[in-house]
Amino acid sequence: MSIYVYCMNKETNEKWASKYTKVKAVVVQLDELISRIMTDHNIKKTIEGPLSTNRVTARAEAGKFDDVADDHPLKLVKNEIIRALDLEEHETKDEIINDLLENGLRSLSKYEEELLPYIYAAALNEKDGKLRKSLKKYIELQWKIKYGLSNQWFMKFLEDHKDTVNYNSVLNRTAIYGNKWLKDFPILSIVLQLLFEGIDDKFFDETNAFNDLWHTITDGGLKSIEKFSNYMDESTMLKLINKKQPVLFQALREYYRPKLFKLLEKSQIPDKDNFYEVALDSVAEYANAYKMQGKLDLIEYLGSFYPFDTKILLQ
C-alpha cells in the first residue's frame, strides 16, 4: 500500500510524513500528485511484469484498465464536484454525483429541487464555471488513469491533442452527456471523436453521423473509414488507413481483441507462431471475422488476408 499526501502546506506535512515509509510523496498541486502516482504505477508494473492474459482480456472487454490505487486522484476531483454543488452534507449526495458522472450535466434536471437555485443555474449555464471545470478535470483524469495507464499509445495521443479546440469540445460533450457517446469501448470512442473533427456537436444532436461511424467501423474495420472522408482532411485519412498514424488501428485492435480471442479459443484454433496477434491485425483492418460462426468460416476468412497452412489450424 502506498500513501500520497495532498495538502496545502507541504513543509508542515513533510515533517510527520517522513516518519512513515508508506508515504511516497507530499504534494500541493493536483497535477503533480497524478504524475507521481502514475509514474509509481508504471514502475510497479515493470517490476511485477505483465498482467496475466485473463486479467487483461477481462478488463479489455469493458474498455477499462484500472487499478484500485489509481482511484485516489479521481476521488480528490470528485470531492471538488461535491463542493461545487454544495452537497457536502446532503443525504443523497452519492446518488446525485454518481448520476452526474455517469450521465453528465443533463442528469441534474432530476435534482433541481435538491440544489440551491443559483448553483443549479450556474451548473447548467456557466461553461467556465467551477462545476464544469471540475467535471471536465474528472473526465480527463479518467481517460488518463483508467484507460491510459495500460495503453501508453493512448496517453500520448491525448497529449498530442490536448491543446486543440476539438479536445475541449469532446470534454464538454462528455461533461454534458456523460457516457452516452462512449459506447461499450470508451478508448475507441474517444479516438474517433478526436480524429473526426468534422463530426461536431450539431451532428451529435441533430443527425446520426457518429452512430453511423461507430457501427461502420466496428463492422468494417479500419478500411471502412473511407466512407466518412467528408469529416476529415484527406492527408490524415490516408495516414490512418496506411497506418502511418497508427492510433485508430491500435484502438480497433484493443476493441476486437477479447471478442476475437474468445472466438479463436472456442474454435480450438491454436495460437501457433503468434497467430492470434496476426489474426487480430487483419480483423482490425477489415473486421467482420468476429461474426463468423464456425471454425472453417473463420479460417477461410483469415486465410484470405494472411496466407498460412490451414492444415496446421485444422489439427
In this structure, the answer to whether residues 80 and 113 fall within a common structural domain is yes
In this structure, the answer to whether residues 275 and 307 fall within a common structural domain is yes
Q: What's the grid cell of residue 199?
A: 463530426
* 241 falls within a domain: no
**N- to C-terminal Cα separation, the chain:** 48
Task: Look at 251 and 10; give whichever has higher pLDDT.
Answer: 251
DSSP state of 52: P
Q: What's the grid cell of residue 45?
A: 508494473
Least Cα distance to 185 among 61, 284, 71, 100 occurs for 61
* 36 falls within a domain: yes
In this structure, the answer to whether residues 70 and 45 fall within a common structural domain is no
What's the rounded mean pLDDT across residues 281-288?
83
Name residue 270's amino acid: P
- Site of grid cell 484502438: 251
* 14 falls within a domain: yes
Residue 38 in contact with residue 4, Cβ under 8 Å?
no
Q: What pLDDT score was predicted for residue 171?
A: 96
CA dist 123 → 107, 116, 167, 202, 204 (Å): 11, 11, 21, 21, 22
What residue numbers bound the domain in which 126 lies?
Answer: 66-149
Pick the last residue of a domain from 115, 149, 183.
149
Least Cα distance to 263 among 243, 279, 240 occurs for 279
Q: What pLDDT score was predicted for residue 270?
A: 83
Report residue 123: phi and psi, to 5°. -60, -40
The C-alpha angle with vertex 256 and arms to 306 and 233, in degrees rounded to 5, equals: 85
Least Cα distance to 227 among 214, 213, 240 occurs for 213
Q: How far apart are CA 293 and CA 182, in angstroms?
A: 28
* 182 falls within a domain: no
What's the rounded mean pLDDT across residues 190-203?
90
In this structure, the answer to whether residues 112 and 145 fall within a common structural domain is yes
Give residue 154's pLDDT band: very low, low, confident or very high (50, 70, 90). very high
Q: What pLDDT score was predicted for residue 196?
A: 94
Report the chain's mean pLDDT, rounded to a whole number.
82
In this structure, the answer to whether residues 34 and 75 fall within a common structural domain is no
In this structure, the answer to whether residues 72 and 7 fall within a common structural domain is no
Burial of 157 (C-beta count, 10 Å sphere; 0-12/13-18/19+):
buried
- Site of grid cell 470508451: 186
* 9 falls within a domain: yes
Least Cα distance to 63 among 237, 195, 189 occurs for 189
* 189 falls within a domain: no
Give residue 215's pLDDT band: very low, low, confident or very high (50, 70, 90). very high
Instruction: Count structural domains, the chain.
Output: 3
Strand partners, 4: 25
In this structure, the answer to whether residues 144 and 94 fall within a common structural domain is yes
Q: What pLDDT score was predicted for residue 302?
A: 63
In this structure, the answer to whether residues 25 and 87 fall within a common structural domain is no
In this structure, the answer to whether residues 44 and 86 fall within a common structural domain is no
Strand partners, 23: 3
Give residue 176's pLDDT band: very low, low, confident or very high (50, 70, 90). very high
* 293 falls within a domain: yes
* 283 falls within a domain: yes
Q: What pLDDT score was predicted for residue 61?
A: 43
